[in-house]
Amino acid sequence: MPTHTTFTRVGAATLAATALMLATAVAPATAATKSYTLAQVKTHKAASNCWSAVNGKVYNLTKWIAKHPGGSGVIKSMCGKDATAAFKSQHGLSGQPASKLAAYRLGTLAKAKPTASATATPTPTPTTGGTLTAALVATHNTAANCWSIVNGNVYNLTAWISLHPGGTGVIQAMCGIDASTAYTNEHNTKSKPAGKLAQYLVGAVGTAAP
């Protein structure tokens, strides 16, 4: 006949097993709901440590860079930033890219909390004249007025955005920045992309702006 001790051991074992099952069930949900700020995302901006935010979610895309069908440069241009606009422009509502992205999800993007002393940062106003510098290019950072630096030259890519074979998001991600690394990783020394780019040349960095 089972003794009181036997029932006690069985009960303890059952409780332990139940606790383990609950811990296993809860752990993934906890990880999935972990929150990160955009400031944290920005610190992971290298190809060897690449985080990006898309549609309010944070992803670690480091391992996806080498696997991306559209080339590594596209993903590298997303590192350390909110790439929602570029992703939507490239893929729209397509389910397959979104499902691929889900495999690299870290958690959610925390909403910025305004402080009493915080002041809005004014958007740079596009300017003309002067010298072609990175600061000047940075003022042309929208799809409607898109300049970019590639290998020491400044290009006005506004008209090229809608014509780019790889999608509008790739070019929009270049607006207002030095995109030399992303361009080289994507196209290397191919002559056709370089020929297309030449049509939009504004001038060399350091020369007089138009």
Same fold, 36-109 and 134-204: yes
pLDDT for 119 equals 52
Instruction: Report the run of H or E that residue 23 belongs to, with start and end.
Output: helix 4-32
Q: Could you report the per-residue pLDDT of 119-158, keeping only the tens digit for each?
A: 555 555 555 557 889 889 999 988 889 999 999 999 999 9
Question: Which three-class secondary structure state does DSSP give residue 189?
Answer: coil
Has residue 32 got a pLDDT over 70?
no
- In this predicted model, what pLDDT tens digit does every residue of 88-102 receive, in sequence order? 777 766 667 778 888
The Cα–Cα gap between 201 and 157 comes to 9
Are 154 and 140 in contact by the 8 Å Cβ rule? The answer is no
pLDDT above 90 covers a percentage of the chain that reads 27
For the chain, the domains span 36-109, 134-204
User: Each residue of 64-77: pLDDT tens digit?
Assistant: 999 888 888 888 88
Domain 36-109 has CATH 3.40.50.20: no
Q: 24 pLDDT band (50/70/90 cuts)?
A: very low
- Could you say which of 3.40.190.10, 3.50.50.60, 3.40.50.2300, 3.10.120.10 is the CATH number of the domain covering 134-204? 3.10.120.10
C-alpha span between 183 and 135 (Å, rounded) = 20
